[in-house]
Amino acid sequence: MKNSLSRTAKLLRKNFQKYLRSLNRWLSDTPERALSEAYQAAQRIKNIELEHFDNKKISSHSVNYTENVMSYWQVYLNKNLTIIKFRLAEFQLSRGIINISNPVLLEKLKVIDEVVEKYAIKYETINELPLSSTYQPLNIKEKEIKKKLKIPNIDEIKVKPPTQQTGETPSSIGRKINKIQTDLAPQTEEEFITNYRISKSRTIIALKFLIVLIIVPLLTQTLSKEFIVFPILERVRGDNVTKIFLNSDMEKEALHELHKFQEGLRFEYLLNQVPSLSSEIVQEKIKSKAVEISEEFQIKSNSNISNVFADLISLFSFGIVIAISKREILILKSFIDTIVYGLSDSAKAFLIILFTDIFVGFHSPDGWEVLLSVFAEHLGLPASRNVIFLFIATFPVILNTIFKYWIFRYLSRLSPSALATLKEMDE
């Protein structure tokens, strides 16, 4: 059995080493691979310019195409510019880790820079308007719309909460007349379609970015733990028996399992389910079970230590996503503000009471205790009840104070009716 385990361990170690070498080669080739993909996307754009736009910029001003044809080429352009954007970001990030020097890369960068500079303004427009739609009922000129809407850029649109809107009362005759005039104006339909496209584009960007914020840290934590941290940690720690347990709780759990196994053997013997065993056979079974438990807890200890480093790597990846996504963060904030301010006063009060009761309510200490115990087990730390109770006695109190200050400071100004509803529901 020991020889079988040894051969299995050697085979796993060999496979891990092979995978690490291939992973190292993949990482070392990342800058050139990313730049090559960006260069190929730039070449595709230049080929389209040469074949269909008389070697000019991909635009309706270059050639006389129909709206559907231009929509097709704009989607194609948007796709390749997006590839260039992400591959250049990958190239810059990997180049900071891996030093490379290749004159061919400089030539590729020159070609890419030419395309990026040519479509700098158009690229922003394509990223912010949903050009993937081939249905365009009206021929809308972007400059005229921005002039009429008086907005220089889509990013400057600020969602104004309903509670902050000012103006005459809804029953005002003058306001009704102005609304009728606005509805009958010739540019109203164009403005409505433009605002709808902008809102749709912002919603898609916000939802995609929200998914990225969730998936990237989880995926990074899992992959870095399974393929990088855990194999390295197994090689460093080895089969050192003195480093099986990280804390006393793990040791107590292992002893409890061994004691339970012994009691199980005795129970089976007393029920005459197994024949009488000699003390040597019993000791051999107990020793085999102890080795099995030690191997199990050694893997568990390595896994807990790996969680610490994998979590740090995941946190670092999350920080990188936040650092390179300032525009997406603003769009996501605007999207959340629109949803929150669009709720009714009763819904706002309900959500506030729900969150406060979960985190700082009467039953919240039990939830905090479970969360802290799971977190301590995840990192391989002893679940000290004194530390947990001290945290429960301080942090929810601070959180409750922050909630009350926010309600007093901001909610009373943003939504007085929601505050009144909240007080009535509390009473």
pLDDT tens string 236-255: 876 655 567 777 788 888 88
Task: Tell me how far apart the alpha carbons of residues 313 and 300 are, in angstroms, rounded to a whole number.
Answer: 20
| Residue 250 CA neighbour count, 13 Å, CB half | 23
Average pLDDT over residues 313-335: 90
Task: Tell me how far apart the alpha carbons of residues 50 and 236 are, in angstroms, rounded to a whole number.
Answer: 58
Q: Helices 103-118 and 30-52, interaxial angle, to 10°? A: 50
pLDDT on residue 161: 46
- Comparing CA positions, the residue from 116, 202, 124 lying closest to residue 157 is 202
Cβ partners under 8 Å of residue 309, min gap 6: 224, 225, 229
- Comparing CA positions, the residue from 318, 319, 317, 305 lying closest to residue 229 is 305
Average pLDDT over residues 400-409: 84
pLDDT on residue 135: 37
Confidence grade of residue 201 (pLDDT, cut at 50, 70, 90): confident
Looking at per-residue confidence, does 214 or 71 come out higher? 214
Exposed / middle / buried, residue 62 (Cβ in 10 Å: 0-12, 13-18, 19+): middle
Looking at per-residue confidence, does 180 or 198 come out higher? 198
Confidence grade of residue 169 (pLDDT, cut at 50, 70, 90): very low
Looking at per-residue confidence, does 78 or 148 come out higher? 78
User: What residue ranges do the domains of the chain occupy?
Assistant: 26-134, 137-160+173-326, 343-426
Looking at per-residue confidence, does 338 or 69 come out higher? 338
pLDDT on residue 130: 40
Q: Helices 279-323 and 248-270, interaxial angle, to 10°? A: 140
Query: CA–CA distance from 335 to each of 65, 204, 352, 388 (Å)?
Result: 35, 10, 19, 37
- Which DSSP letter does residue 57 get? -
Average pLDDT over residues 91-99: 66
pLDDT on residue 214: 93
Average pLDDT over residues 160-181: 57
Looking at per-residue confidence, does 73 or 136 come out higher? 73
Confidence grade of residue 216 (pLDDT, cut at 50, 70, 90): very high
pLDDT on residue 157: 43
User: Is the pLDDT confidence value at 171 over 60?
Assistant: no
User: Is the pLDDT confidence value at 412 over 90?
Assistant: no
Two tokens at 19?
A: 């995978």
State the chain's mean pLDDT as an integer. Answer: 75
Confidence grade of residue 141 (pLDDT, cut at 50, 70, 90): very low
Query: CA–CA distance from 329 to each of 24, 158, 209, 333, 362 (Å)?
Result: 33, 14, 8, 6, 35
Average pLDDT over residues 275-301: 81
User: Is the pLDDT confidence value at 173 over 80?
Assistant: no
User: Is the pLDDT confidence value at 12 over 80?
Assistant: no
Two tokens at 400?
A: 């409750």
pLDDT on residue 122: 40
